[in-house]
Amino acid sequence: MIDVVLVIVFSFIIGVVFGAMAMFLSKGMMAARQATLAKKEAAQIIAEAKAEAKEHLREAKKEAEKEKTLAEGEIRERRSEVQRQENRLAQKEATLERKLEEVERREQSLDARNKNLEETRLEIEKIKEEQLKYLEQVSQMTSAEAKTELFDRMEKEMQAETARRLHQWEAKIKLEADEKARNILSQVIQRSASDVVSETTATAVPLPNDDMKGRLIGREGRNIKALEQATGVDLIIDDTPGAVTLSSFDPVRREVARHAVEKLIMDGRIHPARIEEVVNKAREEVDASILQAGEQATYHVGVQGLHLELIKLLGRLKYRTSYGQNVLNHSIEVAQLSGMIASELGIKVITAKKAGLLHDIGKAVDREVEGSHAQIGADLVKQWERNQDVIKGVAEHHLETGDTSIWGFIVSAADAISSARPGARRESLESYLKRLTALEEIADSFKGVEKSYAIQAGREVRILVKPEDVDDLSAMRMARDIVKKIEETLDYPGQIRITVIRETRAVDIAK
C-alpha cells in the first residue's frame, strides 16, 4: 500500500517536473521570437530616426544660413550707421574748433578793448580830479562841503514835497471824513421822529377865588411863612386875579410846592400843622414820580443796570427845562440819537446810549454845585458807573476838555441835533439871531480879527485872526478879553466857548 502511494507520488513529481520543463522551453522559444521581433522593430525605428534626423539637420542648416544672412545684413547696417555717426562727430569737432578759434579771437579783442577802456577810465579820473580841483577853486568849497550842501538842498526839497503831499492827503481825508459824517448825521436825523416842544414847567397855581389868597396868607402871615419854610419856595401873592406864583431856582421844590398848594386848596383846611403834613405827602409823591420817570426813561431807551441814585437824578430832570425843552425828554432823545450814530460807526451802541441818557444829569444839581453841568454830571456818574467811556461821553459832550474822545463827539453831535431841530426849543427866532449877531459883533470889535462865526446855536464862537497882526500870545490874550466882554455885556444860558484861530499858509503856483 505504501509502495503504491510512493509510486503515485513519484509519478506526480515526475509529471510536474516534465510539465515545468515543457513550459519553460515553450516560454524560451516565445522570448526568442519576441527578441527577434524587437530587434527588427528597433532597426526600423533607428532607420526612421536617422531619416528624420537628416531631414531636421537639413532644415537647421537652412535656418542657420537664413539667420546668418540676416545677421550679416544687420551688421552692415550698423557699420554704416557707425560710419555716419563718426562723420557727424567729425563735422561737430571741426565746428567746435572753428568756434574755439572765434572765441579766442574775441577774447583777444576784448582784452584789447578792456585795455583801451582802462586807459580811458584813468584818463577820465585824471580829468575828473582836475575838474574837481578847478570847481573847488571856483566855488571855494571842498568836495565834502559841496556834497553836504547838495544833500541839504535835497533834504529841504524832500521836506517841502512831503509837506505838500501831506497837506493834499489831509485835505482829501478831511473831505472824505466830512462826507461820511454828513451821511451819518443825515441818516440819524431822518430816522429820528421827535415831538415838538409843547410843555413848560408850571409856576402859577390857579385859585378858585381871590378869597383863597387870604387863607393862604393866614393870620399875620403864618400860613404863607409855614408854607415857604416847609417847601423852600417863595409864594408870591399879588394882584394877579385867580392865581398865585411859585418862585424857586429848584424845579423839584417848586413842583413839591405846587402839589402841596393844590392839595391845600382842594382840602380847604389851611394851617401850619396841616401845611407840614401836606408838604411831606407831596414830597413823597414827587419823589415817587421822579423815580418812576427815571425808570421809564431807562426802559424807553433800553439802558439797564443803572444805579438807583443815577435813576433818581435822571428823574429829577423831568422838572427841569432848557429854553422850554424838557431836559428828561431831551436826554432820552439824545440817547436814541447817540445809539443811532454809534450803530452807523460800528461801535458799542449801549455805551453811546448810556452816555447820551446821562449827558445832562449834572443839570439835576447844577444849582446846588458850582461848575459846568458837564463836569458836575461826570463827577456824579463817576461815583456809580464803572464804564470810563460813559464818563468821557458825559464830561466831553460840550467839547470843553482838551482831548475829546469819540464818545464825546457822538454825544455832542446828538445833543446838537436834538436841541437845534425846528421846534425843539421855545426861543424866538428874533432873539436867537440877536444873540448870534451880538456874539459876532463883540468878536469883530477886536483889532486883528478877520472873520468870526457863532456856531452850535451860540455855544461857540470861532474867530479867524490876521497872522501878520496877531501873534500867538496876542491870540491867547484876545480869547480871554472876548470872554470877559461877553460875560459883562450879554445874558446867555450855559457856557460859550471862544476859539481863536491863527493860521499861516505858504502858497505858490507851479507854471
Q: Which helix (H) or strand (E) holds 443?
A: helix 429-444
Query: Which residue type is seen at 82?
Result: V
Residue-wise pLDDT tens digits, 416-451: 877 765 445 555 556 667 888 888 899 899 988 988
pLDDT above 60: residue 499: yes
In the chain, % of residues over pLDDT 70: 86
- 23 burial type by CB count under 10 A (0-12 exposed, 13-18 middle, 19+ buried): exposed
* Other C-beta atoms lying within 10 Å of the C-beta of residue 207: 19
Residue 406 burial (CB < 10 Å; 0-12/13-18/19+)? middle
**pLDDT confidence of residue 7:** 66
pLDDT at 298: 87
Q: Find residue 453's DSSP bridge partners.
A: 462
User: Rounded to the nearest 5°, which phi and psi values hold at 368?
Assistant: -105, -20
Q: Look up the CATH number of domain 429-502.
A: 3.30.300.20
Give the model confidence (pLDDT) of 352-368 as tens digits: 888 888 888 888 876 67
**b (16+ CB within 10 A) / e for 86-108:** eeeeeeeeeeeeeeeeeeeeeee
pLDDT of 192 > 60? The answer is no
Angle at 73 between CA 70 and CA 76, to 5 degrees: 150
Q: What angle do CA 180, 186, 192 make, to 5 degrees?
A: 135
315 CB burial (10 A radius; 0-12, 13-18, 19+)? buried
- What is the CATH topology of the domain spanning 302-426? Hypothetical protein af1432 (1.10.3210)
Confidence category of residue 202, pLDDT binned at 50, 70, 90: very low
Interval 290-309 mean pLDDT: 87
- Quote the pTM value: 0.50
Q: What is the pLDDT of residues 15-32, one digit of tens each?
A: 777 776 767 666 667 777
Sheet strands (E) in 229-364: 234-236, 243-247, 321-322, 325-326
The highest-confidence range among 8-12, 13-17, 96-100, 200-204, by mean pLDDT, is 96-100
Distances (CA, A) of 187 to 41, 90, 228, 356: 127, 90, 50, 18
The amino acid occupying position 411 is V
Distance in angstroms (rounded) separating the CA atoms of residues 90 and 82: 12
Distance of CA 362 to CAs 182, 320, 334, 359, 459, Å?
30, 11, 15, 8, 18
185 pLDDT tier (thresholds 50, 70, 90): low
Burial of 423 (C-beta count, 10 Å sphere; 0-12/13-18/19+): exposed
pLDDT at 128: 82
Nearest-angstrom CA–CA distance, 489 and 439: 10
Cell of 45: 525605428
Greater confidence, 504 or 107? Answer: 107
Q: Which residue has the cell 544833500?
A: 151
Greater confidence (206 vs 425) lies with: 206
Does position 392 have pLDDT exceeding 50, yes or no?
A: yes
Q: Tell me the domain boundaries of the chain.
A: 200-291, 302-426, 429-502
Average pLDDT (104-124) is 88
What is the distance between the terminal CA atoms of the chain, rounded to a whole angstrom? 178
- At 449-485, the pLDDT tens digits run 988 988 876 778 899 998 888 888 888 888 899 999 8
Q: How far apart are CA 490 and CA 77, in angstroms?
A: 124
DSSP labels for 208-262? SSTHHHHHHH-GGGHHHHHHHHHH--EEE--S-TTEEEEE-S-HHHHHHHHHHHH
Strand order, beta sheet including 204-206: 204-206, 243-247, 234-236
Mean pLDDT of 501-510: 77
| Nearest alpha carbon to residue 330 among 363, 305, 372, 306 | 363
In order of 216, 255, 256, 295, 446, the CA distances from 225 in angstroms are: 10, 18, 16, 35, 52
Distance CA 306, CA 351 (A): 12
Enumerate residues 6+ apart whose C-beta is below 8 A from 405.
389, 392, 393, 396
Contact 261, 205 (CB under 8 A): yes
d(CA 486, CA 364): 26
| Mean pLDDT taken over the chain | 80
Are residues 470 and 448 in contact, defined by beta-carbon separation less than 8 angstroms? Answer: yes
Architecture of domain 200-291: 2-Layer Sandwich (3.30)
pLDDT in tens, 311-327: 888 888 888 877 667 88
